[in-house]
Structure 1
């Protein structure tokens, strides 16, 4: 039995969590918000009750800051009137149901065609640490016609994972920002960064180990199963992005009987080793620069970086070396331009090749005290570098990102290992290697390693891999298929999680959730002319 809707109540709200078994709705739940539903955090049956709340309201400035274009602000507001929002108290430690509790924030956009409803799709955000609270609106209903169509026959479910946004969270002081001066990273500077990171890791983890030690992919997957039960769903279908693919794999591994169709875009590897992760991403980034170099060479009259891909490669590698020898500080740019900045431009995906190529060309001949226009445009930072807009939701929690990554990192290298890995990386990748730092995020993290659960399953699963991207290297998609099964959907672009943004690909995603069938792949984001 499904719970009765409350969509007629303007500004109200959603459902949240329960135990990991299907339970029929109580009369109080069917009636919608009530004093008893809010007051009682647990029902006598052991099922957590939903605390219904009004959805947040946002100013136009905040809405635009969420990436909503001016022509879609009114549609966003209309969808927010349909969105249901709620929280529930659940155990912080799933092995201690009577211990400390935390709140999880969940949203639901109910299917518009209730008579032909197929179920619920949970949108699994990236990160770790990204908010998914507004994903039913931003990633589904508002994205394009193809994705909006999913909401006709599916409820779209969003959530802020534990540690993020409107859910219970904690904050640690950030670790070291990077080198204390521009130019090539020296062993002495790297050692200072390493030691400072070790100290920051120990300070953070020891500030609230009971909470931070429970920030893992598996625990978020267990939270998600409580969401499923609270919503009265026998199964959840999954739409995961980036780290959300790890969450989807964990959920499917832990709760195969509760998993319906799953589409995972820009697939994470089936292992957790940050040294190996950086090495794989770096190799893919340098390889994709070969495509960029060939593209720039065909437009040498515009960019002047070389008439062949080899010449472009040599020119960019020379720029990396030259700007490391003589870093430039511009009066109107906070970031000094050194070899790492040049390498960052060489690492951009194809949607940014025209601007990145223009910035590289500007750096070849730059003079003066102010940054060339395209260089300034690409390194100014924008709104994310300033103070947050009042009333804006938290879209990324760096403490959660930090804790999950380090709780699950199986490498945690000593300094000698990290420094050697960095030196080899820079040597192997002359164009893009300087954009990476040493793999020193998790050394000294004092909490035990808790790798996510990864098991082979027989349920419906599509793994979307992007042939040329580096944030989720295509080979990781193939490794994941060997580990967990499923079908590979190949996207012929280099753009992270682009599948649902490109109408052709989004149509395939919608068809998959409606029919269980999907084509072998799509072109993805178009390479610029």
Structure 2
């Protein structure tokens, strides 16, 4: 059980690795007042168990100046179901950056077995600047929040102006606060959550970008790192602009696999008897939609908006049904009278947690604003300042990766963003983490998971052969069992596994 905060901190923090990443005595630690907060836990809402409670913590905005400005972090807790078998706390992060995680302990999107819930208090939190944690807002319009911008010579000047405007609006609205919305500071916030809860170590389950956050925490606080599960991992060396370009590179093999799968099922989908025919059908459809948009399901698809759905091709059945329906619509036919597989759904996204109870207080552009704030502040060196560099890269990458290369290499607001308060973290070391990865993940490609595995030399990797889509949790019993075994016993697989 959690003991009293004051008693636990006297033993846990004297001496201890502090949330600044250094060792200090309890009497000289400038973060001690933050670590000694007594959170006012209150029931989060009436719809979930009374054991699901929420509180707000105060943390330094700038850890280099802990006596200066502060910011708030919203934290939730679902207590372990077993008092005798309780091991500690399991922090959860949904990814992003910009994803709120306060409701993850009770979200149906996170599939954890009873034995894990019995041993851990599940801890959700909205990272700084996100959701209910002093949320940032830039006053961005819906159009300004739209990331999907294919390159075209006639629209590139507008894309540059869009990127410049987003950066300028955020700077005007949030000022110097943006410099401190970084992954390293979120990791420090996590360590203060640990201290306030009276825990010597934390365990962790992070998805997508959350794998990078977890790796950074383990790098900064190795003595505080217990059992870490990283689901759908980011290549830590490519975090930044490289992440986008890696997605474009991986879209090609996924598209090729889809053409092969669809050709074997021509009788069902009518897209072509060979992969070459399927490929030709798709690109003819794109060209046709560029000439005259295709109305399907109330949405008008241009060639670019068809290409923008590139993540669909990681799920071959769903993609074949969708392209077949678009083809029928372009030819003036109605929907498949047999109903066919469901062609609906948009680009792959990380499963979203339930909306926070005070979502009405969160700026409508918070997800976009906080995502740019963290990504741009973390990785200024990966973003060229010259717009012409983006033009050249977009032209080059459209030729290399025709499905989406120009989308990923086109200019982004980070080109005009102010750097964060400190350099990014180099991820490397003996970290005994468990990495879960789908073979056909469109957002965090398999190569990125392997790169994270190499960087964390003490880790083990579970690859889901043929696994489709973004996020493994709850989709494969073999991978889920490996994660549950590690979280409950601390035993990593003896070697890397393929499920």
Measure the CA separation in 1 of the matches of 2:359 and 2:443.
27
Cα 1:183/1:280, change in 2 over 3 Å: closer
- Match of 2:49, SS state, is helix
For the pair 1:469 / 2:441, whether they are aligned, the reply is yes
**Are 2:474 and 1:489 aligned?**
no
**Residues 370, 158 of structure 1: alpha-carbon distance in 2 compared, 3 angstrom cutoff:** farther
Q: CA deviation at 1:246?
A: 1.0
| Aligned residue in 2 for 1:157 | 123
**How far apart, CA to CA, are the structure 1 residues paired with 2:199 and 2:356?**
36
**C-alpha separation in 2, matches of 1:389 and 1:258:** 29
More displaced stretch, 426-435 vs 263-272: 426-435
Distance, in Å, in 1 between the alignment partners of 2:85 and 2:239 is 44
SS of equivalent residue, structure 1 residue 488 = strand
In the alignment, structure 1 residue 444 sits paired with structure 2 residue 416:
yes
1:50 maps to: 38
1:38-87 per-position Cα deviation (integer Å, ceiling 9, x unaligned): xxxx99866341331423326xxxxxxxxxxxxxxxxxx4x532112111
Q: Which residue of 1 aligns with 2:230?
A: 264
2:43–2:51 contact (8 Å) kept in structure 1: no
Q: Describe how 1:229-378 pairs up with structure 2 within 5 A.
A: 229-271=195-237, 274-324=240-290, 326-328=291-293, 330=295, 333=298, 335-351=299-315, 353-366=316-329, 377-378=344-345
Q: Report the CA distance between 1:272 and its aligned residue.
A: 5.1
- Give 3-state SS (helix, strand or coil) of 1:52's partner: coil
The corresponding residue for 2:2 is 2
CA gap 1:446/1:143 in 2 versus in 1, 3 angstroms: closer
Is 2:60 the partner of 1:91? yes
SS of corresponding position for 1:292: helix
Q: TM-score, normalised by structure 1?
A: 0.78
Deviations 1:246-273 (Å, cap 9, x if unpaired)? 1101100110000011110111121355
1: CA distance, partners of 2:127 / 2:227: 21
Alpha-carbon separation, structure 2, partners of 1:261 and 1:219:
21
Question: TM-score, normalised on structure 2?
Answer: 0.82
Q: Determine which of 471, 477, 487 is the counterpart of 1:503.
A: 477
Per-residue displacement from partner, 1:490-512 (whole Å, max 9, x unpaired)? 12213211234433321211101
- Distance (whole Å) between structure 2 residues aligned to residue 494 and residue 403 of structure 1: 30
Q: Which runs of 5+ in 1 are unaligned?
A: 5-14, 25-41, 59-76, 524-529
Q: Is residue 285–residue 470 contact of structure 1 (8 Å, CA) maintained in 2?
A: yes
Q: Distance in 1 between matches of 2:67 and 2:442?
A: 43
Query: What whole-Å deviation, never above 9, does each CA across 1:9-28 have from its counterpart, x for those lacking one?
Result: xxxxxx99x9999259xxxx
Alignment of 1:521 onto 2:484: no
* C-alpha distance in structure 1 between counterparts of 2:294 and 2:468, whole Å: 31
Shift of 1:297: 1.1
Q: Decide whether aligned partners of structure 1 residues 223 and 449 sit closer, same or farther in structure 2, where only a CA change above 3 A counts.
A: closer
Which SS does the other structure have where 1:57 is aligned? coil
Cα separation, 2, equivalents of 1:44 and 1:401: 30
Q: Distance in 2 between matches of 1:179 and 1:131?
A: 17
**For 1:442-476, what per-residue CA distance to the aligned partner results, in whole angstroms no more than 9, with x for missing partners?**
11113347443234332421222322212111111
Correspondence for 1:402: 372
Whether the 8 Å CA contact 1:408–1:451 is kept in 2: the answer is yes
Check 1:52–1:345 CA distance in 2 against 1; reply closer, same or farther (3 A cut).
Answer: same
8 Å contact kept, 1:19–1:48: yes
Moved more, 509-518 or 496-505: 496-505
User: Structure 1 residue 216: deviation in Å?
Assistant: 0.3
What pairs up with 1:55-66 in 2 under 5 angstroms? 55-57=43-45
Q: Which consecutive residues of structure 2, in runs of 5 or more, have no partner in the other structure?
A: 15-29
- SS for the counterpart of 1:188 is coil
In structure 2, distance between residues paired with 1:521 and 1:243: 23
Q: CA RMSD in A?
A: 3.6
Contact 1:330/1:370 (CA < 8 Å) preserved in 2? no
C-alpha distance in structure 2 between counterparts of 1:480 and 1:44, whole Å = 33
Q: Counterpart of 1:167 in 2: which secondary structure?
A: coil
Per-residue CA distance 1:406-444 (angstroms, 9 max, x = gap) = 112322222211112212222222345466561423111
Cα distance in 2 between the residues matched to 1:397 and 1:179? 9
CA distance in 1, matches of 2:190, 2:44: 22
Given that residues 303 and 357 in structure 1 are in contact (C-alpha distance below 8 angstroms), is that contact kept between their aligned partners in structure 2?
yes
Listed as ranges, the matches of 1:34-49 within 5 Å are 47-49=35-37
Determine if the alignment matches structure 1 residue 105 to structure 2 residue 79: no
Q: What's the secondary structure of 1:447's corresponding residue? A: coil
Task: Confirm whether residue 411 of structure 1 aligns to residue 353 of structure 2.
Answer: no
Q: Deviations over 1:121-162 (max 9, x none)?
A: 1112200111111111226xx854x53320111121111111
| 462-471 or 155-164, which deviates more | 462-471
> 3-state SS of the aligned residue for 2:276?
helix
Of 80, 89, 100, 1:131 maps to 100
C-alpha distance in structure 1 between counterparts of 2:234 and 2:11, whole Å: 28
Looking at structure 2, the residues matched to 300 and 257 of structure 1 have their Cα atoms a distance apart, in angstroms, of 56
1:185-224 alignment runs, 5 A limit: 185-224=151-190
Whole-angstrom distance in 2 between the partners of 1:246 and 1:164: 17
Size of the alignment, in residue pairs?
464
Instruction: Confirm or deny: 8 A CA contact 2:41 2:54 kept in the other structure.
Output: yes
User: Which segment is superposed worse, 477-486 or 399-408?
Assistant: 477-486
Distance 2:80 2:295 in 1: 53
Tell me what 1:71 maps to.
none
Say whether residues 1:228 and 2:194 are aligned partners. yes
Contact 2:310 2:347 in 1 (8 A): no
